[in-house]
Amino acid sequence: MAYEHAKMFTNITPAKAKKLQEELLSLDLTPEVITTIIDVLPNKYQLDLIAEKNKSITDENKEQIIELIEKNKK
């Protein structure tokens, strides 16, 4: 039952999550921020909220992060 629930709400495959993680590492983000981004797969407004608490997300790389998320979603 838990597996079915997790499967319903998963927006990214494990392979794509790994690829996204590697791409986000190139942006000098902290591992904690990368984990949050992969867990949430935020839109632009959600990313702004995450960025408020995490200074490793700069205005310069926000657009790159959104592009990487869109490219790696299911």
Going from N- to C-terminal start, the domains of the chain cover 2-72
Q: What is the pTM of this model?
A: 0.83
CATH of domain 2-72: 1.10.150
Angle 43-47-52 from CA coordinates, rounded to 5°: 160
pLDDT tens for the chain, residues 1 to 74: 554 545 555 678 899 999 999 999 999 999 999 999 999 999 999 999 999 998 889 988 999 999 999 999 86
Per-residue CA distances from 73 to 30, 49, 58 (Å): 21, 20, 22
